[in-house]
Amino acid sequence: MKIREIRCYVLEAKLDRSFGWSLAVTDRRSALVVEVTTDEGISGFGECYGPPSANAAVVALYGELLSGRDPLATEAIWQELYNALRDHGQRGLAVQALSGIDIALWDIRGKAAGRPIHALLGGPIRRRVRAYATGLYERRDGDHVAYLAEEARGYVAEGFSAMKLKVGFGLDRDLAAARAVREAIGSEVALMVDANHAYDLLAATELGRRLAELDIAWFEEPIPPEDVEGYAELRRRQPLPVAGGECSFTRFDFRRLFAARALDVAQPDTCAAGGISECKKIADMAAAFGVRYIPHVWGTGIALAASLQLLAVLPNEPLCRFPREPLLEFDRTEHPIREAILERPIGHRDGWVEIPDGPGLGVAIDGEALRRFAVA
């Protein structure tokens, strides 16, 4: 089998209602889907997490190197593409683009073998995974505290046993929001907070200390991702577990984070940190360092499927009779492309998501949706 072509689909959809977090407000969702076609009629799909048009330019650059190559040679191709931009990339766009291609190649490997990706990785260790609801963003209208409490109660009613609140709007407002959500969901449901690196070390330390009484499961991206030592320092200064990693790339970034004891929870994005090939390595390294691995997921159904294939083989660490299961980040915000792109969207039941069991990613792509959301 030979690679014939690498296609990019830059997708965008307007939202009914804009939403905000500590960095920005958006009224649209976008995505870059990568399709690798072969001379045997098998196509693989992947997705890149990052600015779609810029990622597409890098995917096109890599694509020139791949025509005629064996798509099953995922490891050889990963190394070749990483080395192609090593002097200029190493992270960001260069690795995001590589991630989308790597996922598409794994999709082809699975389809060629007639097995899901998790089977090729030696799994599954689990057939379903507990999901936490990512939502609780800022809305343009209404009382911030009131709509957050209402939304949080909705997730509990749906069966979610964990959810994540956006913070980073200033300490007093964050505390009021977290208090309202904790009151709304009771003490049995896990609550995490995510600042999208809106704070410096001093402010994050104060917020972490003041949030501690609300039993927060982790404090995500409290400070800028470059400050590895700051993350380690924050872990010592305040009581909340510290999470991060969606802005970090490859084994090399995560080696630094793990060696510095900077994270309690590592959150590489499969569509950004290096694809299935690299994230499996990062996950194994996390286990060796005793760091929990809970992938960042923020994309369409393709990103979700790729993350689930990896989640199927994450180890139970430490091994015991009653293991703590890994978690799926399950984005509950409006995303018209996320469900439309799959012929059978990935849903949850009582806060659990089944791992797709069909060949490759285990999902069928709706070609009409690819055309409908394509940016001209």
Q: Is 194 in the site for Ca ion (CB under 5 A)?
A: yes
Give the shortest CB-247-to-Ca ion separation in angstroms: 9
Q: How many chain residues are in contact with Ca ion, going by CB under 5 A?
A: 1
Q: Is 329 in the site for Ca ion (CB under 5 A)?
A: no
Q: Is 174 in the site for Ca ion (CB under 5 A)?
A: no
Return the number of the residue (95 or 340) whose C-beta is nearest Ca ion: 95
Determine the residue with CB nearest Ca ion: 194
Catalytic residue among 197, 296, 335, 348: 296
Give the shortest CB-303-to-Ca ion separation in angstroms: 14
Give the shortest CB-236-to-Ca ion separation in angstroms: 22
> Three-state SS across the chain?
CCEEEEEEEEEEEEEEEEEECCCCEEEEEEEEEEEEEECCCCEEEEEECCCHHHHHHHHHHHHHHHCCCCCCCHHHHHHHHHHHCCCCCCCCHHHHHHHHHHHHHHHHHHHHHCCEHHHHCCCCCCCEEEEEEECCCEECCCCHHHHHHHHHHHHHHHCCCEEEEECCCCHHHHHHHHHHHHHHHCCCCEEEEECCCCCCHHHHHHHHHHHHHHCEEEEECCCCCCCHHHHHHHHHHCCCCEEECCCCCHHHHHHHHHHCCCCCEECCECCCCCHHHHHHHHHHHHHHHCCEECCECCCCHHHHHHHHHHHCCCCCCCCCCCCCCCEEEEECCCCHHHHHCECCCCCCECCEEECCCCCECCCCECHHHHHHCECC
Return the number of the residue (107 or 246) whose C-beta is nearest Ca ion: 246
Return the number of the residue (95 or 112) whose C-beta is nearest Ca ion: 95
Return the number of the residue (185 or 193) whose C-beta is nearest Ca ion: 193
| 197 assigned to active site | no
Return the number of the residue (106 or 330) whose C-beta is nearest Ca ion: 330
Of the ranges 60-68, 190-198, 234-242, 366-374, which one interacts with Ca ion (CB under 5 A)? 190-198
Give the shortest CB-160-to-Ca ion separation in angstroms: 17
Q: Is 138 in the site for Ca ion (CB under 5 A)?
A: no
Report 219-238 residues binding Ca ion (CB under 5 A).
none
Which residues would be at the binding site for Ca ion (CB under 5 A)? 194
Q: Which residues have a catalytic role annotated? A: 296
